[in-house]
Amino acid sequence: MRKLFLTLATAVITASLSNVPVLAAGGGDVVLRQADWSFSGPFGTFDKASMQRGFQAYTEVCAGCHSMNYIAFRNLADLGYNEAEIKAIAAEYEVVDGPNDEGEMFTRNGIPADRIPAPYPNELAARAANNGAYPPDLSLIVKARANGADYLYSLLTSYQDAPAGTAVPEGMYYNAAYSGHMIAMPQPLYGDDVEYADGADTSMDAVAKDLVNFMAWTAEPALEERKRTGVAVMIFLVLLSGLSFGAMRFIWADVKKTGA
């Protein structure tokens, strides 16, 4: 019983700590914009419609530079896509496979089991195409940055002209949410960058939120399951505590009467 209690307590503490916000990294002049995220809090859930829009925005805006190395096409079922839709999405990509019987690599259309292909074959090729800057993989980016969701939302929407007297080096851009404010990534969103089939808002803020919702899922696909488990464990511990207290009173009742 003690081992079970310790295991459950550890699970609850871990689940609770994972929801504690971390102070944003960077200088004191970096101010992050905050948004209400559906996945925040102990009962948070993912917005599947927003995630689907975020996936579309990723493929049309971000995928040319940033990879999603840890996401397979079949994982898109979590976003609400059915099997036929996933097969169609995967088939739009060319995947390097092999070697074949002649020992040579070849390309083929993607299948659901494939991971989303990276835009560059390796880091050196990525740097060569981006003036030496390396576009990070976005699979875990929300977890890899302090205040990940708000940080990415702020980063995507905080490109602006540099203040008077501030020199911006060639190949760099001014971003109020980035530590040091000089970032090598050009502004990715301007508003109306994508056209959603559901007619949803395509302003810069709206598309940025859709992208963050999608990347929050890629960083932790099991978030909803973890939170459900945490809530169930909390309920179990409350009931167990009540039963333990009642059992203690029952066991010691006669001892107290005898002592009286």
150 token code pair: 């708000």
| Per-residue model confidence (pLDDT) at position 245 | 80
Q: What is the mean pLDDT of residues 81-97?
A: 97
Backbone angles phi and psi of 134, in degrees to 5: -110, 110
Q: What count of other Cβ atoms lies within 10 Å of the Cβ of residue 5?
A: 13
CA distances to 10, 90, 106 from 147, rounded to whole Å, are: 24, 32, 41
Bridge partners (DSSP) of residue 97 are 106
| Residues with Cβ within 8 Å of residue 251, at least 6 apart in sequence | none
Domain boundaries, the chain: 2-71+115-251
| Per-residue model confidence (pLDDT) at position 101 | 92
Does pTM top 0.85 for this prediction? no
- Per DSSP bridges, beta strands 173-174 and 106-109 are unpaired
Q: CB–CB of 147/95 below 8 Å?
A: no
| Per-residue model confidence (pLDDT) at position 257 | 63
| Per-residue model confidence (pLDDT) at position 12 | 42
Bond prior to 99 in cis (omega within 30° of 0): yes
pLDDT in tens, 9-49: 444 444 444 443 333 444 457 889 999 999 999 899 999 99
Backbone angles phi and psi of 122, in degrees to 5: -165, 175
Q: Looking at 25-29, 173-177, 197-201, 250-254, which range is the least confident one? A: 25-29
Q: Cα(214)–Cα(166) distance, rounded to whole angstroms? A: 34
Pick from 201, 194, 167: nearest CA to 181: 167
pLDDT in tens, 68-83: 999 999 999 999 999 9
- Per DSSP bridges, beta strands 173-174 and 182-183 are antiparallel
> Which amino acid would we find at residue 137?
D
CA distances to 14, 78, 87, 186, 207 from 73, rounded to whole Å, are: 30, 10, 8, 28, 22
| Residues with Cβ within 8 Å of residue 153, at least 6 apart in sequence | 33, 35, 208, 209, 212
Q: Classify domain 2-71+115-251 at the CATH topology level.
A: Cytochrome Bc1 Complex; Chain D, domain 2 (1.10.760)
